[in-house]
Each structure stands twice: as C-alpha cells, then as structure tokens.
Amino acid sequence: MARKPTITLVSPAYNESQNLKPFYKAVCQAVLPLDRYNWEILLINDGSRDNTWEIITELTGSDPRVKGISLSRNFGKEIALTAGLESIEETDAMIFIDADLQHPPDLIPELVNHWEQGFQIVATQRDSLNTNWLRNLGSRLFYKIMNRFSEIRLEPNATDFRLIDREVLKVLKTFKERTRLFRGLVDWTGFKKVFIKFSAPERLEGKSTFNFNNLSGLAINSFTSYSLWPLRITGFLGLFVLATTCLSLLYMLVTQFVLGYEIYTRMAYFVVFNTFLFGIVLVALGMMAVYIGHIHTEVLLRPLYIVQEKAGFEND
C-alpha cells in the first residue's frame, strides 16, 4: 500500500486560548474531504500570558495528530513561524495559518488543489483590508516602496496563510538571518507560485495584538533587510544638499557683490551652509544606524528562539 503524503498545518498562537478549540474543530472539518493525506497540526505558543499552552496540551492529549511547542517568551510571529518550520523533520507540504480564524480553514482544500496542480507555493491575498484609512494608506505605501526599491516583489494584501512544498521548506531551513519577514523570505525563493484571494472574517474572540508599533517596526526591518536603497538615497540626498547649498551661496554672493545689495551678513552664510550639512549628516547617521543595528543582531549569533516545552511529539 502506497504511503499517504503528509501535510502539516503550522499555527502560531499568542493569547489565543479562546480561539484554539474552535480553530481546531474548523480545521478538522476542512480536511475531512482530503483523506488521501495524513494531517498534522502544530500549534506554537509564542509566550502567551493566558492559558493558551494548557489548551494546546489538552488538544495534543485528545488527538495524536496535534503537536505543540511552547517558546520561552514572546518572540513575535515571524520567529514563531520559523520555529514551526524547523520543528517538523519530514513533511510533504506545510500550511501556515493563523489561529484566530481570520485565515479561513475552509480554504485549505483549494490550497491543496493548486499544490496538486504543480504549484510549489500557494499563497493568499485578502481582497480588502477591514482596517482604518490610516492603516490602509500605510499598507499601500509600504508595498509601493518595497516593490519599487527592494530585490523582491510583495503582492499587496498578501498574508502568511499559504501552502509551501517540501522543496521550498528545505531552502527556507537554510536561511539564518535574525531580522526577517517570513513571507518575504518565501517570495524571495522564487519557486512556482499562485495566489488565491479571500475575504477575511472578523476575529472570533479576543483582539489583535499587532499594533502600530509592531507594523511600523516590521515595515522598517523588512525594507532594510531587502534593500540598500536607504543608504543610496542618503548619498543622493548628500549630492542634492551640496548642489542646493552651492546654488544658495552663489545667489547670495551675486546678490551682494555683483548687484550690490547689502542684505546678507557673514552669519547668514554660515547658517545656510551649516544647516544643510547638519541635516545631511543626521540623515546619514540615522540610516547607517539601522543597518549597523542589523549587523549587530546578526553577529551576536543568538538562537532565533528558545523552545521551553513540547507536547505530542512522543510518537516521533
């Protein structure tokens, strides 16, 4: 009898105790028609402050298909996804999905169907963002800048809800950088990919912990991880400031010494020249600090995450 291929669902959870059981039931219902596969569900407790880990261990005890790992603290979603990726030794495909049910499990059969057609990455896009206008504007601006100046192309409204083939997983496991945008790494690999659009429902329980600070930090880290343009822009800005300063000084000299208008003092010349130089130095130092910060993070060689506890791995 031929071996059934295995598909592993990986779901990070931070304070999702109220959503985990409904999520588990929805996933089990969604995969019922796909009995030609063996299914695993890996739940990652990303340093939750509620009883998320207790719920995970309860699920692992009642269903041998469910596994859980608990990180020692909150490392963030990008690292939690990486922990899930690296915790499974062998699988034929992996589906990354949020536990808050905003990534509808009903879409899983469609992801698998496209994978069976030969696509190695089956990603999803929200057809709209149910957020305020400021966040929508920031999202559009982020994607425009990333796609214009970075070495990868990110589809607007793309999500981490995606199926990844085992060949892609092997490549992702070789990546070592600490500062990471997980879906950016997936897109960077360049494997055969297709997108599916979906409408994101509201969270079942609780509220999102991904606030403005998280989003802005992720945007800065993503841009500086995939693009050298900020450093190049600093150079261009330096040239622009130098040209502007020269033209301003030339205008002041012509006005005073050729046309004879005594309207500028020596202090005025000094202020114009010094202001531009001071501005460009601050911009350059700021951008250099971001990149030096990334270098500092990488050379420390700390582990990406720490697994404090595991459940459901006894049969492996």
Q: Is the pLDDT of residue 211 over 60?
A: no
Q: What percent of the chain has pLDDT over 70?
A: 69
- CATH class entry, domain 6-211+303-311: alpha beta
- What integer pLDDT is reported at residue 208 of this predicted model? 54
pLDDT higher than threshold 70 for residue 313: yes
HEC readout, the chain: CCCCCEEEEEEEECCCHHHHHHHHHHHHHHCCCCCCCEEEEEEEECCCCCCHHHHHHHHHHHCCCEEEEEECCCCCHHHHHHHHHHHCCCCCEEEECCCCCCCCHHHHHHHHHHHHCCCCEEEEEECCCCCCHHHHHHHHHHHHHHHHHCCCCCCCCEEEEEEEEHHHHHHHCCCCCCCCCHHHHHHHHCCCEEEEEECCCCCCCCCCCCCHHHHHHHHHHHHHHHCCHHHHHHHHHHHHHHHHHHHHHHHHHHHHHHCCCCCCCHHHHHHHHHHHHHHHHHHHHHHHHHHHHHHHHHHCCCCCCCEEEEECCCCC
pLDDT, position 89: 87
What average pLDDT does the segment 87-98 reach? 93
Q: What is the pLDDT of residue 64?
A: 93
- Report pLDDT for 180: 78
pLDDT bracket for residue 94 (50, 70, 90): very high
pLDDT in tens, 233-249: 666 676 677 677 777 77
- For 58-91, how does the pLDDT look when each residue is reduced to its tens digit (9 = 90+)? 999 999 999 999 999 999 888 999 999 999 988 9
| pLDDT for position 142 | 65
